[in-house]
């Protein structure tokens, strides 16, 4: 399968699962060495999970398939440009490239508008609409220090 074929799979999966009322019209496939290692579709409403976006679900499946938290050497084909959460997960997974079909503007036109999130993330922490308040900093930093000092830690 080539790039177009993988994207067509993501689009077909988005249509199929949308029609089955699984969630919104989004799907993604993770590919390594020319083979699909993970597929996901939007399951937000189907599983009452606001984090169950197509890319997140596909990443989770790919990690299970490969037995690794790192998806180095993988690419993702997604039926829509990733939202901020999914884009962050793609970075954390070390996926090497993103191919997308619909744009963020296309998604906004049907009610999925991520612009607010992008604006919020660009603001200084104390200017965001969601209050963030620091508590127990001294206790928490001790855990970080312990982790940093552990020679057996698994860095990711």
* 27: β partners: 41
The answer for residues whose C-beta is within 8 angstroms of residue 42's C-beta and 6 or more apart is 14, 17, 18, 22, 23, 24, 25, 26, 27, 52, 53, 54, 57
**Active-site residue numbers?**
55
Among 32, 39, 37, 119, which residue's Cα sits nearest to residue 79?
39
Q: Which helix (H) or strand (E) holds 79?
A: strand 74-80
Residue 93 CB neighbour total at 10 angstroms = 25
3 state SS of 40: strand
């Amino acid at each position: 399968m080539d790039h177009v074929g993988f994207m067509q799979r993501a689009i077909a999966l988005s249509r199929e699962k949308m029609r089955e009322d699984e969630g919104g019209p989004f799907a993604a496939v993770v590919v390594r060495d020319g083979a699909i290692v993970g597929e996901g579709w939007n399951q937000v409403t189907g599983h009452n999970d606001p984090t169950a976006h197509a890319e997140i679900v596909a990443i989770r499946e790919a990690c299970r398939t490969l037995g690794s938290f790192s998806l180095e050497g993988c690419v993702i084909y997604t039926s829509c440009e990733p939202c901020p959460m999914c884009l962050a997960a793609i970075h954390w997974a070390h996926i090497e490239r993103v191919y997308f079909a619909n744009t963020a503007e296309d998604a906004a036109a049907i009610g999925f508008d991520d612009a607010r999130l992008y604006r919020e993330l660009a603001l200084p922490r104390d200017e965001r609409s969601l209050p963030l308040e620091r508590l127990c900093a001294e206790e928490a930093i001790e855990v970080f220090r312990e982790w940093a000092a552990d020679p057996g830690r698994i860095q990711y």
